């Protein structure tokens, strides 16, 4: 029956048997190297540790805009999601046991919070639903008029949300209100260093008014994307202090182990303990 095997088939069978004999870790790396061979050949990879899947991994990038393309091959995470988890691990190492509220979750960082923190509460804003009601396990909340009592949460997380909110002064003030003393608001927004804050749109009694050409970012619950309202510049920290009385630290962490790319700042606004 020797002739029954066509050219190459014999090699394929040997290769398959060899792979079965390898431990799972070796199989993972073989598969990874094979499926990303073009990026590896172009030097668009590095090895490291992912704080989201908590494994040794490879990071690859298809395009040079690392913020949207520098992915963990295991969990698909992006740098800003890893940066938030990194800062949580560093500033609030017991976050898994804390009461966490996240507005407009999205990405593998939010999935990790949901999976590992028992008291994690996600919310989205649906304009046609009543605030404070729960739809498919997610609460409807408007960040500028939250329905929670004062001092409800240990941590509030917002990831790339506060550049899309009309009246962000109300949002920062509301976040501070629902934080317990000693709590913190951990968040990302694109920060344009060395530039003044640019307000691109405003909501007036007459409706939406564009002050700059409309710019949209991806939105997990809407195909249309979300309008960018504010491009935050150097006044951000003062703005937060003025409207929420909270002091904010900026963490800009860069390493070639997966924390790189544009706009990778993570902000932590802390409510003083009593
Ligand atoms: Zn990962």
48 lies in the same domain as 62: yes
In angstroms, what is the span from residue 115 Cα to ligand 1's centroid? Answer: 15
Which neighbouring-strand residues pair with 101?
Answer: 121, 156
Residue 140: count other Cβ atoms within 10 Å of its Cβ. 18
**Chosen domain end from 50, 78, 106:** 78
Q: What are phi and psi of 84, to 5 degrees?
A: -65, -45
**Are 99 and 129 in the same domain?**
yes
Which pair of structure tokens corresponds to residue 26? 């070796």
CA distance 267 to 186: 6
Whether 121 and 140 have beta carbons less than 8 Å apart is answered as no
219 and 131 assigned to the same domain? yes
Rounded Cα distance, 74 and 54, in Å: 10
Indicate whether 137 and 232 sit together in one domain. yes
Whether residue 67 is found in the same domain as residue 86: no
Please say which residue of 63, 78, 93 terminates a domain: 78
Same domain, 66 and 197: no
For ligand 1, a single-atom ion, the residues with CB < 5 A are 50, 52-53, 72, 74-75, 77
Report which DSSP code applies to 232.
Answer: B
Residue 1 has a pLDDT of: 46
Same domain, 19 and 149: no
Predicted local distance difference test score (pLDDT) of residue 22: 80
Number of domains in the chain: 2
Domain boundary (23, 58, 78) is at 78
Q: Is there a single domain that holds both residue 87 and residue 173?
A: yes
Cα 24 to the center of its chain, rounded Å:
29
What would the pLDDT profile of 15-58 be if each residue is shown by its tens digit? Answer: 788 777 888 888 889 899 999 999 999 999 999 999 999 999 99
pLDDT at 172 over 80: yes
In the reported structure, the alpha carbon of residue 76 is separated from the centroid of ligand 1 by a whole-number distance in angstroms of: 6
Query: In this model, does residue 270 exceed pLDDT 90?
Result: yes
User: Quick check: 160 pLDDT over 90?
Assistant: yes
- How remote is the CA of residue 71 from the centroid of ligand 1, in Å? 8
Q: Would you call 75 helix, strand, or coil by DSSP?
A: coil
Mean pLDDT estimate for the chain: 91
Domain that holds residue 39: 2-78
In the reported structure, the alpha carbon of residue 197 is separated from the centroid of ligand 1 by a whole-number distance in angstroms of 33
- Integer Cα distance of 68 and 66 in angstroms: 5
Residue 151 has pLDDT above 90, yes or no: yes
What pLDDT, on a 0 to 100 scale, did the predictor assign at position 260? Answer: 81
CA of 270 to the centre of ligand 1 (A): 28
CA of 85 to the centre of ligand 1 (A): 11
* Same domain assignment for residues 190 and 72: no
What is the end-to-end Cα distance of the chain in Å, rounded?
83
Say if residue 65 is in the same domain as residue 91.
no
Q: Cα of 24 to ligand 1 centre, how many Å?
A: 17
Regarding whether 27 and 96 lie in a shared domain, the answer is no
203 and 93 within one domain: yes
Q: What is the C-alpha separation between 28 and 32, in angstroms, rounded?
A: 6
212-223 tens-digit pLDDT: 888 888 766 666
- pLDDT value of residue 273: 95
Higher per-residue confidence, 103 vs 12: 103
């Amino acid at each position: 029956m020797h002739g029954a095997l066509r050219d190459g088939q014999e090699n394929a069978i040997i290769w398959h048997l060899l792979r079965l004999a390898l431990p799972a870790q070796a199989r993972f790396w073989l598969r990874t190297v094979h499926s990303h061979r073009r990026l590896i050949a172009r030097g668009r990879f590095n090895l490291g540790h992912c704080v989201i899947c908590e494994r040794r991994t490879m990071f690859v990038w298809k395009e040079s805009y690392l913020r949207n393309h520098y992915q963990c091959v295991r969990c698909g995470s992006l740098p800003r999601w890893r940066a938030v988890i990194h800062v949580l691990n560093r500033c609030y190492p017991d976050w898994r046991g804390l009461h966490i509220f996240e507005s407009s979750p999205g990405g593998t960082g939010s999935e990790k919070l949901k999976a590992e923190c028992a008291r994690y509460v996600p919310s989205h804003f649906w304009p046609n639903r009543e605030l404070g009601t729960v739809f498919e396990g997610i609460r409807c909340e408007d960040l500028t008029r939250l329905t929670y009592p004062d001092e409800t949460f240990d941590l509030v997380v917002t990831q790339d949300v506060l550049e899309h909110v009309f009246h962000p002064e109300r949002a920062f003030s509301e976040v501070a209100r629902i934080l317990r003393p000693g709590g913190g608001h951990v968040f990302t927004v694109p920060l344009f260093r060395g530039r003044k804050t640019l307000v691109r749109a405003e909501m007036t009694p007459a409706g939406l008014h564009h002050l700059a050409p409309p710019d949209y970012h991806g939105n997990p619950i809407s195909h249309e994307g979300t309008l960018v309202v504010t491009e935050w510049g150097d006044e951000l920290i003062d703005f937060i202090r003025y409207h929420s009385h909270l002091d904010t630290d900026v963490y800009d962490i860069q390493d070639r182990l997966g924390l790189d790319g544009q706009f990778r700042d993570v902000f932590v606004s802390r409510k003083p303990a009593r």
